[in-house]
Amino acid sequence: MNMRLNGIGMTSQRTRQRMIDRLRDQGIRDEAVLAAMYEVPRHLFVDEALASRAYDDVSLPINYEQTISQPYIVARMIEVLRDTGGRPMRRVLEIGTGCGYQAAVLAHVFPEVYTMERIQPLYERARNKLRDLNIRNVNVRYADGSAGLPEWAPFDGIIMAAAAPAMSAALREQLAIGGRMVLPLGRQEQWLYLVERDERGFRESRLEPVKFVPLLMGKT
Ligand code: SAH
């Protein structure tokens, strides 16, 4: 038996379990989300120099002035998305792939994930990472996601990882009836919002203050 490798494995298990315990303390209750966050190797999505901090409750740089969201906000957004009272959710859209971490967590709890990234090197790295991890139910797109992905709509869930100044009607329209969208809105001061769609229309609720990178236009 290779003691050194075994040791690393044990440490990683303990570190991941500490993250899960902390998420529970912070109020995350959805066991499927907690299980997915335990499974996905977050340290493989950040630079090696930052890997030792990957399971801390912080956002970390992923280059090009972008960040991987802190574990709490990833868990919280997916928990809110899944809180449908039992209605099954199949197809989900993420806007802002970044390093692909949140897409990997989404892939553990939803059958079909689409994710869009406007910065080409991030897009390529995320796509390769997800492929290396053998995560096959994520479709990664190099595109400006601010207008969503109408050709694959409707979505049961939409999750935005970058903050828009205002709610987009085009995006809302891509929700299925019964669908839910979780997104940060605002510039300096940002809040997390939930949009729910039913037969009669849309309902918006403001959840909690957040801090996201801005949603930007065009590809680069
Ligand atoms: N979910 C990501 C967080 C990435 S940060 C993760 O787990 O790492 C937000 C990302 O949104 C950045 O990579 C940024 O380039 C991207 N982004 C910003 N505006 C966008 C747009 N209009 N379309 C697609 N991606 C966008």
The predicted-structure confidence for 96-129, as pLDDT tens digits, reads as follows: 999 999 999 999 999 999 999 999 999 999 999 9
Distances in Å between the Cα of 105 and the Cα atoms of 33, 88, 99, 217 are 8, 17, 12, 26
- DSSP state letter for 48: G
Q: Is residue 202 exposed (0-12), middle (13-18) or buried (19+ Cβ within 10 Å)?
A: middle
- Closest residue by CA, ligand 1 atom 11: 96
Q: Looking at the predicted structure, is the pLDDT value of residue 11 above 70?
A: no
The string of DSSP codes covering 103-162 is HHHHHHH-SEEEEEESSHHHHHHHHHHHHHTT--SEEEEES--TT--GGG--EEEEEESS
69 catalytic residue (yes or no): yes
Determine the longest span between alpha carbons in the chain, in angstroms: 62
CATH superfamily of 8-210: Vaccinia Virus protein VP39 (3.40.50.150)
Q: Looking at the predicted structure, is the pLDDT value of residue 8 above 60?
A: no
Distances in Å between the Cα of 216 and the Cα atoms of 29, 134, 183 are 32, 30, 14
Amino acid at 15: T
Sorted by where each begins, the domain ranges of the chain are 8-210
Pocket test for ligand 1, best of 37, 74, 76, 95 (most atoms within 8 A of CB): 95
- 3-class secondary structure, 59: coil
Distances in Å between the Cα of 103 and the Cα atoms of 2, 10, 37, 49, 199 are 33, 26, 11, 22, 29
Q: Looking at the predicted structure, is the pLDDT value of residue 171 above 60?
A: yes
pLDDT reported for residue 40: 97
Taking the C-alpha atoms of residue 160 and residue 164, their distance in angstroms, rounded to an integer, is 9
Query: Cα(179) to centroid of ligand 1, in Å?
Result: 22
- Pocket lining: 196 vs ligand 1, CB cutoff 6 Å: no
What is the rounded average pLDDT of the residues 165-177? 95
Q: H or E element: which one contains 180?
A: strand 175-185
Of the candidates 12, 52, 59, 69, the residue annotated as catalytic is 69
Q: Looking at the predicted structure, is the pLDDT value of residue 6 above 60?
A: no
Q: Looking at the predicted structure, is the pLDDT value of residue 3 above 80?
A: no
Query: Which residues lie below 8 Å from residue 125, measured CB to CB, with a gap of 6+?
Result: 99, 100
Q: What is the pLDDT of residues 178-199, one digit of tens each?
A: 999 999 999 999 999 999 999 9
- Pocket lining: 144 vs ligand 1, CB cutoff 6 Å: yes
Contact 106, 131 (CB under 8 A): no
Q: What is the pLDDT of residues 26-84, one digit of tens each?
A: 999 999 999 999 999 999 999 999 999 999 999 999 999 999 999 999 999 999 999 99
Which ligand 1 atom is the nearest neighbour of the CA of 94? 1
pLDDT reported for residue 103: 98
What is the rounded average pLDDT of the residues 214-219? 96
What is the rounded average pLDDT of the residues 21-30? 98
Indicate the average pLDDT of the chain: 94
Pocket test for ligand 1, best of 64, 76, 119, 212 (most atoms within 8 A of CB): 119
Region for 98 from its dihedrals, namely left if φ exceeds 0, alpha if ψ lies in -120 to 50, beta otherwise = left
- Closest residue by CA, ligand 1 atom 10: 96
Sign of CA dihedral 127, 131, 132, 135: positive
Q: What is the pTM of this model?
A: 0.95
